Amino acid sequence: MINELVTVEADRPSFSRRFNPAAQAGLKAPTKGEPQENRNHARPWPATTQLRLMDLNLFRVFDAMMLHRSVRKASQTLSVTPSAVSHALSRLRQSIGDELFIPAESGMQPTRRALELASAVREGLEKFESALTRKESMPAEAARAFRVGATDYACMFILPSLVKRLATSAPTVDLRVFPSNHIDLVRQLEKGRADLVVGSFTELPAGIRRSRLLREDEVIVVRTGHPLTRGRMTKERLLEVPHVVVESAGTMESATDGFPDEERNGNRVSVESALCEFQYRRIGPAGCMTVGVPKFAAVAPFLQLSDMLAKLPRRLALWAAAHAPLSLLDPPYPPVAIDIEMLWHRGGDDDHGIQWLMNELAKSIGNVG
């Protein structure tokens, strides 16, 4: 940028001697008919010039705020003071012409404009970094916090193996895992609030990519010494036994989340939801669901102290039986098979960091029991 003093007199312009001839040729004195205010004030820069002069670090602040929704936490991530983050936000708001983040009880909530920008800003930062480093994979020394949406099943049986692998391959990488209960994970991808989602899905909107990680099936779990452990298992006997069912979207909170019933059911994305729906289709709605719980961890205590049963993913059932006096039984019908998948937004196709994480996750699946 040229920082030279230009003095405009009534008859002709006088330039600093350090301007070159080309620069002088690009300037002219105002005509007598030109409004007075245009003589001594620069015209507004065009939008393209404003974008060209914007500080890239402002977008790093924006990305950190989208991740943390907190000025203090964003400042810690960027290793700057909170006042520096506030100042950067003020400059970015002025440049974009939007508040971007508004104080709320749960933190700094992004505006609609901020949500629209989030994915593109994240993608742009990743491409810029990739262009500078010229690396197709994420180096082990790189520091980045990935945002992963996952069910409690994924937290128990998918992500621990990934974390174990990352401890060696990329010890400076952080995972920020948020639960799937009562939120629409697919929309989190579309809004740029999640980099990756792990769970079980059916129909997906355009722009969401998917890849299968493993296949899971169901098994019946009861306490050791339960009457079902003696004699032949039949569907009729199952109907006589009260069920404990994991309901990821069936709590009071989900009933008031603003989604219509059919849309909420369509967004149930965890393996327990699929098994629950399978139970109702194959066993019938007359099956006795005595207790509905929101998480897998709550199932075992109910089974240990009662004659209820639960249908659980086999890996989880094996883990529960290793830590409590529980028995596993095969169902009297072909068990349902559920694909556990990872999802990402199509913008992640060009994000080398996300592609690297997906590759690490796929490799870690071999260690899942």
> For residue range 19-71, what is the model confidence (pLDDT) as tens digits?
344 434 444 444 444 444 444 343 443 444 355 567 888 999 999 998 889 99
Q: Tell me whether residue 148 is in a domain.
A: no
Q: What is the mean pLDDT of the chain?
A: 75
Q: Tell me whether residue 199 is in a domain.
A: no
Q: Tell me whether residue 306 is in a domain.
A: yes
When divided into structural domains, the chain yields a total of 3
pLDDT at 137: 57
Q: Tell me whether residue 280 is in a domain.
A: yes
Domain boundary among 87, 103, 134: 134
221 plus 317 within the same structural domain? yes
51 plus 30 within the same structural domain? no
What confidence tens digit (pLDDT) does each residue in 107-156 have? Answer: 899 999 999 898 888 878 877 776 665 544 555 556 788 999 888 888 88
- CA–CA gap between residue 322 and residue 145 (Å, rounded): 33
318 plus 260 within the same structural domain? yes
Other CB atoms closer than 10 Å to residue 206's CB: what's the count?
A: 5
- CA–CA gap between residue 189 and residue 165 (Å, rounded): 24
- CA–CA gap between residue 66 and residue 68 (Å, rounded): 6
Q: How confident is the model at residue 202 (pLDDT cuts 50, 70, 90)?
A: confident
pLDDT at 285: 39
52 plus 83 within the same structural domain? yes
Q: Is the pLDDT of residue 256 over 90?
A: no
82 plus 12 within the same structural domain? no
24 plus 89 within the same structural domain? no
* CATH (domain of 333): 3.40.190.10
Nearest to 151 by CA among 213, 107, 66, 63: 213
Q: Is the pLDDT of residue 186 over 80?
A: no
Q: Identify which has the larger pLDDT, 112 or 248.
A: 112
Q: Tell me whether residue 293 is in a domain.
A: yes
Q: Are 307 and 239 in contact (CB under 8 A)?
A: no
Whether pTM exceeds 0.75: no
247 plus 233 within the same structural domain? yes
Q: Is the pLDDT of residue 180 over 90?
A: no
68 plus 12 within the same structural domain? no
Q: Identify which has the larger pLDDT, 184 or 303.
A: 303
225 plus 244 within the same structural domain? yes
231 plus 115 within the same structural domain? no
Helical pair 352-364 and 159-169, crossing angle rounded to 10 deg: 120
Q: Is the pLDDT of residue 264 over 80?
A: no
53 plus 39 within the same structural domain? no
The strand pairing partners of 146, in sequence order, are: 175
Q: Tell me whether residue 315 is in a domain.
A: yes
Residues 6+ apart with CB under 8 A from 210: 201, 204, 341, 342, 343
3-state DSSP call for residue 230? coil
Q: Tell me whether residue 310 is in a domain.
A: yes
Domain boundary among 134, 167, 185: 134
The position carrying tokens 């508040």 is 99
Q: What is the mean pLDDT of residues 225-252?
A: 82
Domain boundary among 117, 134, 151: 134
Counting residues of the chain whose pLDDT is more than 70, the rounded percentage is 69
- CA–CA gap between residue 319 and residue 323 (Å, rounded): 7
239 plus 327 within the same structural domain? yes
**Domain range enclosing 38:** 6-43
- CA–CA gap between residue 321 and residue 324 (Å, rounded): 5
Q: Tell me whether residue 59 is in a domain.
A: yes
